[in-house]
């Protein structure tokens, strides 16, 4: 089977969030199962600086972006069994970042058309074209409405994965003629119109042959008004082609036994000694008192409302009355950045705040902490909780989306579970759940160590997720 993934980001080349991790891992896993797999990404300047000398120039042509003629080059790089193609246009993609420009609509309108025009030129016409989030969600629509005349494309099947429904790509209807070179018929008849705007994600939902999300619970949630971000009605209408497949993580990369970023390697069998040594090293690095007995919590996240930091900040003064320590790593909403700086200043023996992103420190937080706070308001899948568990940092999560699918709440009666969870999104229940964590940690150390062992032993590899995608692709080809 031939599969082409199209996305706005992909590890290790350009990564902003979980989408980048998926594009870095899923194609590799699928190719290892014997399929012919390729990925197409924009050729950002950061990619050029790091990997440009390894690239092969394949071809170039001009893409019509409305009345404009825009250069489109294709570069190629093989990484293991996966072929990566990159759409080159310095005007659109040499910006020093991936997202956030006023003309993102034009940038990704160009990219999507270039992807479809590239396939014949590089002689890679897939059985399945798998697009991701709104940046590439117009591709199924374009394939069936604008490029349907290309005979070689008539058997391509499309999959749209929604990594985060909140971002939908909503633009003026004039974009259809001005950037895509199309008429407005499908906007005028309501097909791609939603709340008076051209909605890229709605177009993808309606035109893709299959829709997936990154966890089964999130697939159910987005069909409800509370989580549907206004598109729940459309998703309920297309329920028959919607499914949820939980993301995995790269278990070779996130392995405490081989991780070069942590001071002391350890495994499930050496969990106790490894955690103690890494905890001491983290406390020393972060300027916290070195104490083995104090529960040390970690946060590695974007500091946003979605990630539940309204709860954390509102409850932290109360929680810090307990004998705990907290290390925070992340950037985001200035309110939360400033709040964590303030707590670090007021409680220097309890809180260490790092308002930045540092991969090495992130890994050391996973390895050195006893608990990991991730009380997201909503979470399509989440990767940090799986990474933390891999390193024996027991998560405290809001039981929503992928957090519900990956963290089994601790049950003191059956001695089961891999973390601690709360159902109602409130400061009270967040605090009560942290206090339950402290009770088990302090009063039942053997139970807590068993809980850590179960968390570290959970299977978050891409093997099972990849098998689900493989089955989905096979069903589409029948």
Locate tokens 């004039």: which residue?
174
List the one residue out of 394, 399, 407 whose CA is nearest residue 440.
394
Q: Which residues are annotated as a binding site for ADP-alpha-D-glucose?
A: 15
Output the pLDDT for position 54: 95
CATH number of the structural domain 2-248+463-477: 3.40.50.2000
Q: Which of 389, 378, 362, 369 is nearest to 455 (CA)?
A: 389
Q: How confident is the model at residue 238 (pLDDT cuts 50, 70, 90)?
A: very high
Q: Is the dihedral of CA 64, 65, 66, 69 positive or negative?
A: negative
For 403-423, the pLDDT digits (tens) are: 999 999 999 899 899 999 999
Q: Are the CB atoms for 129 and 157 separated by under 8 Å?
A: yes
State yes or no: pLDDT of 347 exceeds 90.
yes
pLDDT category, 67, cuts 50, 70, 90? confident
Complete edge-to-edge strand list for the sheet that includes strand 210-213: 56-65, 68-79, 82-88, 36-42, 2-6, 128-132, 157-162, 210-213, 242-244
Q: Whats the size of the chain, residue-wise? A: 478
pLDDT in tens, 160-189: 999 999 999 999 999 999 999 999 999 999
Per-residue pLDDT at 16 exceeds 70? yes
Angle between helices 271-285 and 359-368 (to 10 degrees): 130
Is 349:289 a contact under the CB 8 Å cutoff?
yes
For 280-285, what is the mean pLDDT?
97
Gyration radius (Cα) of the chain, Å: 23
Structure tokens at 185: 């018929």
Binding residues: 15
Both tokens assigned to 319? 């929680």
Closest among 243, 278, 246 to 385, alpha carbons compared: 246
Asked if 464 and 248 count as a contact pair (C-beta separation under 8 A), the reply is yes
Q: What pLDDT is recorded for position 271? A: 67
Contact yes or no for 39/27 (Cβ under 8 A): yes
Residue 478: the pLDDT is 65
Q: Would you call 128 exposed, middle or buried from its count of C-beta atoms within 10 A (0-12, 13-18, 19+)?
A: buried
**What single-letter DSSP state applies at residue 250?**
-
Compute how many other C-beta atoms are within 10 angstroms of the C-beta atom of residue 56: 9
pLDDT classification of 270: cutoffs 50, 70, 90:
confident
Residue extents of the structural domains in the chain: 2-248+463-477, 272-459
pLDDT at 269: 81
Q: What is the architecture of the domain spanning 272-459?
A: 3-Layer(aba) Sandwich (3.40)
Closest-CA residue to 282 (of 319, 325, 320, 330): 325
From CA 126, how far away is CA 105, in angstroms rounded?
Answer: 26
Fold identical between 2-248+463-477 and 272-459?
yes
> Cα separation of 207 and 215, whole Å?
21
Q: What is the mean pLDDT of residues 52-56?
A: 95
Which tens digit of pLDDT belongs to each residue from 245-263? 999 888 888 999 999 999 9
| pLDDT for res 274 | 87
- Name the token pair of 100: 């956030």
First to last CA, the chain: 12
Fill in the DSSP letter of residue 466: H
């Amino acid at each position: 089977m031939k599969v082409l993934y199209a996305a706005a980001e992909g590890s290790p080349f350009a990564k902003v969030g979980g989408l980048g991790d998926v594009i870095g891992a899923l194609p590799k896993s699928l190719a290892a199962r014997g399929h012919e797999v390729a990925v197409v990404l924009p050729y950002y300047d950061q990619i050029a600086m790091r990997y440009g000398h390894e690239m092969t120039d394949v071809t170039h042509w001009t893409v019509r972006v409305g009345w404009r003629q825009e250069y489109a080059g294709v570069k190629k790089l093989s990484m293991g069994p996966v072929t990566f193609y990159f759409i080159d246009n310095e005007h659109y993609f040499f910006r020093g970042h991936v997202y956030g420009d006023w003309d993102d609509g034009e940038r990704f309108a160009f990219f999507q058309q270039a992807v479809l025009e590239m396939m014949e030129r590089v002689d890679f016409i897939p059985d399945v074209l798998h697009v991701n989030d709104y940046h590439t969600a117009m591709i199924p629509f374009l394939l069936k409405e604008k490029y349907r005349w290309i005979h070689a494309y008539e058997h391509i099947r499309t999959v749209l994965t929604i990594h985060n429904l909140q971002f939908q790509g909503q633009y003026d209807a004039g974009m259809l003629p001005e950037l895509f070179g199309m008429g407005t018929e499908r906007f005028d008849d309501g097909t791609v119109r939603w709340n008076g705007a051209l909605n890229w994600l709605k177009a993808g939902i309606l035109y893709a042959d299959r829709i997936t999300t990154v966890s089964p619970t999130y697939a159910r949630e987005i069909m409800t008004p509370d989580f549907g971000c206004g598109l729940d009605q459309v998703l309920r209408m297309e329920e028959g082609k919607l499914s949820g497949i939980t993301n995995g993580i790269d278990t070779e990369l996130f392995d405490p036994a081989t991780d070069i970023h942590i001071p002391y390697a350890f495994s499930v069998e050496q969990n106790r000694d490894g955690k103690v040594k890494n905890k001491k090293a983290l406390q020393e690095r972060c300027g916290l008192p070195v104490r083995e007995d104090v529960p040390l919590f970690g946060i590695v996240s974007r500091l946003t409302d979605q990630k539940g930091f309204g709860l954390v900040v509102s409850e932290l003064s109360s929680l810090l009355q307990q004998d705990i320590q907290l290390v925070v790593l992340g950037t985001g909403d200035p309110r939360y950045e400033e709040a964590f700086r303030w707590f670090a200043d007021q409680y220097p023996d309890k809180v260490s705040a790092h308002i930045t992103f540092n991969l090495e420190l992130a890994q050391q937080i996973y390895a050195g902490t006893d608990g990991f706070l991730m009380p997201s308001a909503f979470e399509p899948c989440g990767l940090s909780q799986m990474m933390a568990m891999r390193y024996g940092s027991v998560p405290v999560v809001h039981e929503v989306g992928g957090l519900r699918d990956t963290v089994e709440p601790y049950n003191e009666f059956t001695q089961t579970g891999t973390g601690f969870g709360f159902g109602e999104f409130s400061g009270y229940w967040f605090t009560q759940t942290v206090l339950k964590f402290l009770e088990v940690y302090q009063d039942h150390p053997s139970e807590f160590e068993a809980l850590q062992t179960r968390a570290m032993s959970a299977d978050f590899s891409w093997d099972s997720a990849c098998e689900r995608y493989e089955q989905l692709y096979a069903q589409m080809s029948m």
